Amino acid sequence: MTGPAAPGPVLIGFGESACGVEAAWSLLDAGFSVVVFARAGRRSEARLLRGVRVISVTAPEHDADRCRQDIMSLVRLVRPVAVLALDDMALRVAGTGDGDLGAPLAGPTGRLTALALDRRMQLAGAELVGLAVPPTVPCRTRADVLGLSAPVLLRPALTVHEDAGRLMRPRSLRCLRPGALERAAEGWDERVSLLAQPLLRGHTELICGLATATGFDAWSAQTAVRMADPAGSCPSAYRSLTPDEDLLDRCEALLGEAGWRGPFALEFLRDHDGCPWFIGLHGCCPESLALPRHCGLEYPALAVADLLGVPVRVPPRRPCPDIVTCRHLGREILHVVRVLRGPPPGAVAFEWPSRRSAVRGVLSVGRGERWCNWRRSAPDVLLRGTVATLADAAAGRSGWS
């Protein structure tokens, strides 16, 4: 990025998002000032960052309209030059409506926000550009769910669902046996549309980048090394990859057809035969933001610079110069805890990590490895963030889906 930083602050949130600290550092390092909005009553490691102001707003899980009004009031107070949503909840609150937030968004708005939050639209678009899409069956009634055959994955059609003025993130359900399908149907709220897909086996890959005024730039790719929960989701360690050229072409076609602008992360599951199955589109910076930052790709700062008309100069489809692994300490600890407990009933035993391999993998730290939210000048950020991750998991607030 070239040119001077903008005189006003950048407003980002939610501050407790997984990439909140790294996003703030990215903007601070580029010369921007940063104000963070965070849920009232929730811990945010952004409060520990020097020069960052954190202001509480109503949690959208309690009152979505009040949350939006709080953010609009905050915009009037701090007069930011840009707003950057860090997760789906923030995107749902800030990116929907008539664009009356009061400040420009460095990311999708309007119909693009709908695309970022609706898996049905994403799957249809991916299929049109030739991406491999898992066979998908919409479920509208309990009878639809009971008519499925296990094993199957039930995913909410919308990543964020509104109920009586409150926002929620419905979780995906992995139904390994017929009994799990019956329990899922019994406990399912039919107002939440579901998509049934085969339960694919493989590893997660992300294709990340930035859509600017001049096209698509700053491509990167990463693959999950370990999951905090081996039977679920939430990666605890990512490794950089050289982006696959053919896959990039199709990703660019998907986003170009939609007219995308801003950061993005496309999620794939590469099966044991090497096929990359399209899983979904994330309309924000990747939560594993530390990894591309270590590769020199500052997605938050680049997105804001592009919005403000500051020249953005990054080589297109730039591979990470070295293979880098980035690890999240709190989730790594949770990985060991989950493995030591053993696989849940019905899990495929041969895919469950051994206790020895889990402990050895987490305790082994290589020279090319980095830690999320770590800076030598601010060691308390990593320490307190780790404690917060473990506390949230114990309280059931991990948000894994």
Question: What's the pLDDT band for 314 if we cut at 50, 70, 90?
Answer: low
CA nearest neighbour of 65 among 16, 100, 36: 100
- pLDDT tens column, 44-95: 888 889 989 999 999 999 999 999 999 999 999 999 999 999 999 999 999 8
CA nearest neighbour of 304 among 37, 45, 7, 55: 7
342 token code pair: 């053993």
- pLDDT value for 310: 80
The answer on pLDDT for 318 being more than 60 is: no
In a domain, 58, yes or no: yes
Q: Which residue has the higher pLDDT, 18 or 324?
A: 18
Q: How many domains does the chain have?
A: 2
- CA dist., res. 117 & res. 91, Å (int): 9
pTM, two decimals, is 0.91
- pLDDT value for 101: 85
Q: Going by C-beta distance under 8 Å and a sequence separation of 6 or more, which residues neighbour residue 124?
A: none
Residue type, 63: D
- Domain end, chosen from 110, 126, 150, is at 110
- pLDDT tens column, 352-373: 888 999 999 999 888 778 999 9
* Same-domain check for residues 86 and 42: yes
* Same-domain check for residues 42 and 103: yes
* Same-domain check for residues 83 and 44: yes
Residue pair 204/268 in contact (Cβ under 8 Å)? The answer is yes
- CA dist., res. 186 & res. 205, Å (int): 33
Residue pair 17/290 in contact (Cβ under 8 Å)? The answer is no
In a domain, 77, yes or no: yes
What percent of the chain shows pLDDT beyond 90? 65
- CA dist., res. 222 & res. 175, Å (int): 28
- pLDDT tens column, 363-401: 988 877 899 999 999 999 999 989 988 988 887 765 444
The answer on pLDDT for 317 being more than 80 is: no
In a domain, 232, yes or no: no
- CA dist., res. 314 & res. 389, Å (int): 34
Backbone φ, ψ for residue 196 (5° rounding): -100, 130
Residue pair 65/77 in contact (Cβ under 8 Å)? The answer is no
Q: Which residue has the higher pLDDT, 339 or 189?
A: 339
Domain encompassing residue 184: 137-197
In a domain, 152, yes or no: yes
DSSP state of 353: P
Between strands 33-39 and 166-168, the pairing is unpaired
Q: What mean pLDDT is reported for the chain?
A: 89
Between strands 9-13 and 33-39, the pairing is parallel
- pLDDT value for 228: 92
- pLDDT value for 126: 98
Q: Which residues of 96-119 are buried (b: 16+ CB within 10 A; e: fewer)?
A: beeeebebebbbbbeebbbbbbbb
Tokens 């072409």 — which residue?
249
343 token code pair: 């696989």
User: What is the average per-residue pLDDT within 312-323?
Assistant: 56
Q: Which residue has the higher pLDDT, 8 or 254?
A: 254
- pLDDT value for 39: 95
User: In CATH, what number is assigned to the domain containing residue 190?
Assistant: 3.30.1490
User: In CATH, what number is assigned to the domain containing residue 61?
Assistant: 3.40.50.720
* Same-domain check for residues 26 and 100: yes
In a domain, 179, yes or no: yes
* Same-domain check for residues 13 and 102: yes
DSSP state of 14: -
- The end-to-end CA distance of the chain, in Å, is 35
* Same-domain check for residues 14 and 100: yes
In a domain, 170, yes or no: yes
* Same-domain check for residues 89 and 48: yes
* Same-domain check for residues 101 and 144: no
Between strands 9-13 and 82-85, the pairing is parallel
- pLDDT value for 4: 46
In a domain, 213, yes or no: no
* Same-domain check for residues 15 and 87: yes
- pLDDT value for 8: 78
Within 216-318, residue ranges assigned H as helices are 245-258, 290-294, 299-308
Of the candidate ranges 5-19, 112-126, 269-283, 328-342, the one whose mean pLDDT is the lowest: 5-19
In a domain, 223, yes or no: no
| Helix (H) or strand (E) segment spanning residue 313 | none
